Amino acid sequence: MEYMENNVNALIEEHIRTVERARQTLSQEVATAVRWIVNAFESGNKILIAGNGGSAADAQHIAAEFVGRFRMERRSLPAIALTTDTSILTALGNDYGFHSVFARQLEGLLREGDIFLAISTSGNSRNIVEAVEICRKNACKVIGFLGNGGGELGGIVDLSIVVPSSQTPRIQEVHITLGHIVCELVESALCRSRTESPSLRKEAEPDRLAARPAAASVPE
């Protein structure tokens, strides 16, 4: 039992060290990501998000926070996870190859001024690389949530946020922490006052944009 407890403590300490390194090195990049996303929403644009495996789950999680709410009552924000439609994913994988499952969706969904959040713990996911190439052709900014030094994606995204670790579990843990930070700060910026863009107000309930805590959340 003591051996197991020591392992638990060691893994928690490794997580804490990774978070601390991220705090020391990534605050400026994360703040920039927040500004870009706020500007996109205020301009009537959307954010599209994709990743593989655990990063696919992160994409869906972050999209849900924007479309639903994070901590404040406000109008839904336009965010799409490209990882959720099994008919699209299987059709594209079958007809074009798995490397195209995100790029093909972006070809149809991207509009100038949109933002793509590319999530890859290795920085080398081929289907994410191809998705970024579509964004570069369509004047859309790309934010990379990356790890392992950034990989190939680190050199082609517009804003590279690289978790300082080569361990996939630690990278994923920090990615969702950063995702929560981005969601909270974007929401706070948009809800700071009642003079926000009219496109973000609920017409029937204008006071709901006031920055106040949401009612008790339903447990996930």
- Residue 182 placed within a domain: yes
CA distance 175 to 30: 11
* Residue written as token pair 């190939």: 152
Q: Are 210 and 192 in contact (CB under 8 A)?
A: no
Q: Quick check: is 204 in a domain?
A: no
Model pLDDT, residue 207: 40
Distance CA 138, CA 111 (A): 7
Q: What is the mean pLDDT of residues 121-140?
A: 96
217 is a domain residue: no
DSSP 62-77: HHHHHHS-SSB-----
**Average pLDDT estimate for 198-207:** 44
Mean pLDDT computed over 43-56: 97
Would 9 be classed as within a structural domain? no
pLDDT value for 1: 75
Is 123 domain-assigned? yes
Check whether 149 has a pLDDT greater than 90: yes
Q: Which of 43-57, 66-80, 98-112, 206-220 has the lowest mean pLDDT?
A: 206-220
Give the H or E element holding residue 80. Answer: strand 79-81
Buried b vs exposed e over 195-215: b needs ≥16 C-beta within 10 Å?
ebeeebbeeeeeeebebeeee
Position 36 pLDDT exceeds 50: yes
> What mean pLDDT comes out for the span 202-219?
43
State the residue range of the domain holding 39: 27-192
**Residue 120, pLDDT score:** 98
Q: Does residue 49 have a pLDDT over 80? A: yes
Domain contains 39:
yes
> What's the pLDDT at 200?
52
Please tell me the total count of domains within the chain.
1
What CATH number is given to the structural domain containing 120? 3.40.50.10490
For the chain, give the mean pLDDT: 90
State the Cα–Cα distance between residues 121 and 172, nearest whole angstrom.
7
Per the model's pLDDT, the better-predicted residue between 73 and 192 turns out to be 73
- Say how far residue 211 (Cα) sits from the centre of its chain: 22
Range 198-206, long-range pairs (CB < 8 A, 24+ positions): 199/42, 199/44, 200/41, 200/42, 200/74, 200/75, 200/77, 201/75, 202/74, 202/75
How confident is the model at residue 5, as a pLDDT?
Answer: 86
pLDDT given at position 202: 47
Task: For residues 24 and 4, give the distance between their C-alpha atoms in angstroms, rounded to a whole number.
Answer: 31
Whether residue 31 lies inside any domain: the answer is: yes
CA pair distance 149, 175, nearest whole angstrom: 14
Per-residue confidence (pLDDT) for residue 152, from 0 to 100: 98
Q: Does residue 13 lie in a domain region?
A: no
State the pLDDT at residue 193.
Answer: 43
Q: Any idea which residue has 């790890």 for tokens? A: 147
